[in-house]
Amino acid sequence: MASDAPRKLNALGQSLWLDNITRDLLDSGTLRRYIDTLSVTGLTSNPSIFDAAISKSKWYDAEIQKQMEVGKKGEELFFTLAVQDLTRAADLFRPIHDRTGTVDGFVSLEVSPKLAYDTKATVEQAKTLHAAANRPNLFIKIPGTKEGLPAIEDAIFSGVPINVTLLFSTDQYKAAAEAYLKGLERRVEAGLSPDVRSVASLFISRWDVAVADKVPAEMKNTLGLAVGRQAYKAYRDLLESDRWQRLENLGARPQRLLFASTGTKDKNAPDTLYIGGLAAPNTVNTMPEGTLLAFGDHGTLGGALPRDGGDAEAVLAAHAKAGIDLTALSAKLQSDGASSFVKSWEELLGAIEQKSKVLA
């Protein structure tokens, strides 16, 4: 028996996005079905998703061959394929984008992680990709690392909608929000509209994986939710600040908090743990396909996440008491995430090269 939970989550004010994109999802009509039956209102992508789709299926073969014939290879070839898929997805979500006053209905495409330490090149690529897709409901993903923050500010100033990725803690979220605010304030100073959209993607499940064998049984799978709830309180505080109110009065819209990495990694925990536990208005939850289907099948929804983050501080304090250095762990999770992002990228380009050789 299918659950009504996705519709209820949507009614509560949280956007439910799919963390997946493949040509198969588009061609088979599956994405369309998810929009119609599971209240999916947006989508995110990343290099490992494309890597699996390109290396393990034939869906891209004909297009790769076609692009090779016009001399495209490597990164350029990948971005051509990705932009094709994401513009099709963006068009499917466009009615939602229009209906929600351009708040929802977004898709996301990542810049090359090889540019991670080059602010100027990251901003240039963000502008180029956004222009190539030519869709208002396409986010460009830039990691919210120390090196990524100036690129986020500059890209926002340039009018490119940004999905800030790889955030793991409330402090990292606040730094991303600061970059967003600065970008908007610079636009106001320059006489430009501050209506440039953004989401800040906070990764949840990796916290629980990282401490699984370091905390007592009763504390397992509680840290990710606590981090999400603490960040939610910071997000609500920001939206009530004088600084934000000034920008909103000039036409800015909130950079929405997005809960990412919300597939449950522990086989003994509920498979929809991070969905029901982080239901909050004016936020986004982007989930893997398996989690989406599980939530659509047997998901349940309690109340909305409390404005003050509920038990977040108590849970975080208990982890600190158990010897978990949360600040050091958040830095490690972000730097490990950035490294695995580069690794996925190299694997993706390897898969394209391999496929190109076979097809040649």
Domains by residue range for the chain, with CATH: 5-359 (3.20.20.70)
The CB-side HSE value for 147 (13 A sphere, CA atoms) comes to: 13
User: CA of 8: how far to CAs of 287, 312, 321, in Å?
Assistant: 16, 24, 37
Given the residues 58, 66, 114, 141, the one annotated as active site: 141
Q: What is the largest CA-CA distance in the chain?
A: 61
Instruction: Give the confidence band of 360 by pLDDT, cuts at 50, 70, 90.
Output: confident
User: Is residue 134 a contact partner of residue 123, using CB atoms and an 8 Å limit?
Assistant: no
Answer yes or no: 141 catalytic: yes
- The amino acid occupying position 165 is T
Which tokens belong to 334?
């972000």
HEC states along 113-175? HHHCCCHHHHHHHHHHHHHHHCCCCEEEEEECCCCHHHHHHHHHHCCCCEEEEEECCHHHHHH
What is the rounded distance in angstroms from the CA atom of residue 216 to the CA atom of residue 23?
43
Model pLDDT for residues 235-274, shown as the tens digit of each residue: 999 999 999 999 999 999 999 999 999 999 999 999 999 9
Cβ atoms < 10 Å from Cβ of 265: 15
What is the rounded distance in angstroms from the CA atom of residue 266 to the CA atom of residue 117?
34
What is the rounded distance in angstroms from the CA atom of residue 172 to the CA atom of residue 228?
12
Model pLDDT for residues 176-235, shown as the tens digit of each residue: 999 999 999 999 999 999 999 999 999 999 999 999 999 999 999 999 999 999 999 999
Model pLDDT for residues 93-132, shown as the tens digit of each residue: 999 999 999 999 999 999 999 898 899 999 999 999 999 9
pTM, 2 dp: 0.97
pLDDT at 117: 86
Q: Which residues contact 193 (CB under 8 A, 6 or more apart)?
A: 187, 251
- Tokens 């536990």 identify what position? 277
Q: Which residue has the higher pLDDT, 127 or 360?
A: 127
Cβ atoms < 10 Å from Cβ of 323: 9
